[in-house]
Amino acid sequence: MSLSGRLSLFVALIVIGVVASVTYLETRSFVRDIDSELMDAARLGAQSAADNVAARDQPFDPFDIRDMLHDLVAAAPVLDVISVIESDDSGHLSIFTSTSTEERAEVLDVAARAIATRSITTDRNEAVATVAAPVPRREKYAVVVTVGLENLIQARARGLRIAFGLALPTIILVTLLAYLTVRLLVGEPLAAIVRTMERTAAGDLGARTAMVRHDELGTIATRLNEMLDQLERFNRSLHERIARAERVAVLGQVAANVAHQAGTPLNLVSGYVQMIRDDPRTDDRTRSRLQTVDTQIQQVTRVLRSMLDYARQPPGFETVALSDIIERVREIAQPRLARSNIRPQLSIADRLPPIRADVTQLEMALLNLVNNALDAMPTGGSLTISAAAHGDGVRLTVADSGPGIPPEIVERLFEPWATTKPTGQGTGLGLAIVRDVVRSHGGTISAHNQSEGAVFVIDLPAAAAVAASA
């Protein structure tokens, strides 16, 4: 359930609790008031009838008293039955007169207690309430009023129906208003923030939330935008550093090739110059000029040697986890993967042995393979990077779903200047650099085609194996 739904349910439960409590208390108070009014009316009727009987002279006329009782019932409709009870000398009770032809045995019991105690006596059950009042100055007479509680039961039921009839629409209305309010004030802003985060996770580092509010959610949106700004600047800087490192590596490879290719002929030229210079038949003027030529050749040789030494600077090796390097490369490549509609899949085995590596160089080499796979899938596809223990080391595999490697270039794929890209789009040095980086780490790299796309396999020794061989 969404946050809006949970908050609305919480509000609904509160409303239900409040309405139920108020309904119960109001109904109970209403019923109690009606009950009090009924009992007061019964006591007042019994006392009035008793006073009226006491005012009459004996012997009493039962018909005259019955007419008086009917008048009282007509004046107070809540009174059901009024009876006058008399006691003979032996204490036996009987109905002297009544507004009803039927009387219950409880009426005689209540009258007996009233005559005996000379006070108003009350008896009741769930359906009927009975009040007996002794007749003043007439010790053998009592008036009993019976009040039916059906009205009380009906009032309670009617009150509950009215209360719940109003409570249900109130609960629905309040819940709906609470849901709409929470959705407007909380749900939609949170949804906007989540959409921005999802776009960022999909590779759109330019995604920003446009929500402007002056509350906690507005603060979260502002901080999210600031964090995304920092992330975009960091990503841009990281790409610039990687591109610079690649350019330096390419220049180093070019320098190494130039130094290697030019060094041999220069040494040969220098040897011939020295041989002619040292020949006795060479005159002094020519020997001086040859000395100048040899000096310049040595200068060029020293420059080439310094270029070769710079290109062969030893990397900074440390013990690292290959899974961390793979994860960083995936994060770096994620924006371009998302834009190119390429699905990355990582398969990293648990408990991979650590390796000795120059993190920057190995990340650059792996990123080079990922970029080649991206170039091979311009319309989208899948890229799989897997790592597992293999022998005394680890095996890293990069596979794509592109067209594969052309057969004519498979054998010389890792040679300098070998490329399948059109002119102007590739130098052919990327895979050569990857090969050199892998070799400098004591590993090997190979490539082959599979049923769909190309596969590059890198085997690297574990740190323990490197330490043992050292």
447 near 413, Cβ under 8 Å? Answer: yes
pLDDT for residue 37: 83
- CA-closest candidate to residue 85, choices 77, 69, 37: 69
Least confident among 137-141, 185-189, 255-259 = 255-259
Judged against a pLDDT cut of 70, whether residue 211 lies above it is answered with yes
* Higher pLDDT among residues 11 and 164, named by residue: 11
Q: pLDDT tens, 66-76? A: 889 888 888 88
Q: How far apart are the C-alpha atoms of 231 and 226, rounded to whole Å?
A: 9
Q: How far apart are the C-alpha atoms of 163 and 218, rounded to whole Å?
A: 42
Mean pLDDT in the chain? 80
Q: Are strands 393-400 and 93-98 parallel, antiparallel or unpaired?
A: unpaired
Q: How far apart are the C-alpha atoms of 115 and 139, rounded to whole Å?
A: 7
Q: pLDDT tens, 222-244? A: 888 888 888 778 777 767 766 66
Q: pLDDT tens, 34-55? A: 778 888 888 998 999 999 988 8
Domains of the chain: 3-154 (3.30.450.20), 230-311 (1.10.287), 318-469 (3.30.565.10)
Highest mean pLDDT among 175-189, 249-263, 280-294, 355-369: 355-369
Q: How far apart are the C-alpha atoms of 455 and 443, rounded to whole Å?
A: 17
Q: What b/e sequence results for 432-457 when a residue is b if at least 16 CB atoms lie within 10 Å of its CB, and e otherwise?
A: bbbbbbbebbbbebebeeeeebbbbe
